Amino acid sequence: MRLLSTLFILTFLSPSFGQEYPTPESYLCYKSTKPINVDGIIDEKDWEKAEWTDLFVDIEGDKKPLPKYNTRAKMLWDDEYLYISAELHEPNLWSTITERDAVIYHDNDFEVFINPNPSSQMYYEFEMNLLNTVWDLIMTKPYRDGGSYMNSWHIDGLKSAVKMYGTLNEPSDVDEKWTLEIAFPWKVIGQEKPTLIYPKEGRRWRINFSRVNWDLDVENGKYVKHIDPNTGKPAAEYNWVWSAQGEIAMHMPEQWGYIQFTENKVGDKKKIDVSETEGERLHRQLFDIYRLQKKYWYEHRVYAKTFDELGWKTIMKYNSEELQPELNQVAGGFEVVLKVPQEDKIYVVRHDSSSDVISIK
């Protein structure tokens, strides 16, 4: 997979350790009034009522310029499916891959990453190109923790479609955009732990979207990837995302956006704050310690036993009240524990990036 080696280097060797990672985006997902016709055309009245996400940004966030072309998405749900639509402005409509489960990001593509049970290491990845060729897989856990992908897994009942506004693989004209629709069936996405995953009022998942885009040239009347003169190989792709990761690494679920479900029907204007809570921010901040521990292990081949060894000096606060995490040794590694009495919860992150939120009521 493309990000494994990059992620290893960034996770263990980057001088940006200790950086402040971007606050994830949030989205309130309403229930549709009727099933969506998945044809790639975002024309249903329910889609008209649904809010667009903010425009996508570079995967590294503010460290890089805004994307050349606009991308945005919408989400809805009903009793059978989670629906996603997206609009991708693009002057050069191009795709070549037609084999399912091929490496779709070798084309321009749209990608979805879903962790419906944030305490689980397992998550779903889905990619599609302009030809509606799809790649669906399960990640057992992030690559940084030795995770692997289950490529033979298919989403039974998946629906997806593309609409192109222009001509595919025709360099002689300037195209406008492509749009897409996806329907992920609950019977598959929710099968890990249905009682913890199926939408209900206030339930929150982690989700992110990525758009891979390549610079193209024209040779003999056909699109070809632009070659970097310094390497003689195709220039690096762009990675544009809904919720910035802070690094060139999509497989950091703690940095994905939040999706919160409501049983209200789309079009309801009730104000619901779905932004990251203080507890969620603190839980995510524990991953800063996780990353420092991984860096420490790479340098010393053991995990640090104290925060002083790590050089961790950050003061964690819930609003204005200071909190002190604990760093514990456990079989095979470590765990970072933060008790948040304001929420009657304990947040835990471990050496394998598994995590828990424990109620102490």
pLDDT in tens, 300-332: 999 999 999 999 999 999 999 999 999 999 999
Query: Per-residue pLDDT for 274 more than 50?
Result: yes
Q: How far apart are CA 199 and CA 247, in angstroms?
A: 30
Strands 177-185, 81-89: parallel, antiparallel or unpaired by DSSP? Answer: antiparallel
Of 149-158, 273-282, 295-304, the least confident: 149-158
For the segment 166-185, the average pLDDT, to the nearest whole number, is: 97
Please tell me whether residue 102 adopts helix, strand or coil conformation.
coil
pLDDT band at 19 (very low <50, low <70, confident <90, very high): low
pLDDT in tens, 34-46: 999 999 999 999 9
The amino acid occupying position 331 is A
DSSP calls for 81-97:
EEEEEEEEE-SS-----
Please tell me whether residue 80 adopts helix, strand or coil conformation.
coil
Give the model's pLDDT for residue 340.
96
DSSP calls for 320-340:
TEEE--EEEEETTEEEEEEEE
pLDDT band at 118 (very low <50, low <70, confident <90, very high): confident
* DSSP conformational letter for 231: T
- Give the residues across from 150 on adjacent strands: 138
Query: Per-residue pLDDT for 12 more than 60?
Result: no
Give the model's pLDDT for residue 195.
75
Best CA proximity match to 25, nearest among 164, 206, 162: 206
Query: Per-residue pLDDT for 14 more than 80?
Result: no
Query: Encoding tokens for residue 253?
Result: 């679920």
For the segment 57-62, the average pLDDT, to the nearest whole number, is: 96
Taking residue 22's Cβ as centre, other Cβ atoms within 10 Å add up to 16
Cβ-proximal residues to 341 (8 Å cutoff; 6+ apart), any chain: none
* DSSP conformational letter for 237: P
Query: Per-residue pLDDT for 10 more than 50?
Result: no
Cβ-proximal residues to 349 (8 Å cutoff; 6+ apart), any chain: 283, 286, 287, 289, 290, 335, 336, 355
DSSP calls for 27-44:
EEEEEPSS----SS---S
Phi, psi of 284 (to 5 degrees): -65, -35
For the segment 152-177, the average pLDDT, to the nearest whole number, is: 96
- Give the residues across from 89 on adjacent strands: 177
pLDDT band at 9 (very low <50, low <70, confident <90, very high): very low
The amino acid occupying position 50 is A
Phi, psi of 354 (to 5 degrees): -70, 155
pLDDT in tens, 221-260: 999 999 999 999 999 999 999 999 999 999 999 999 999 9
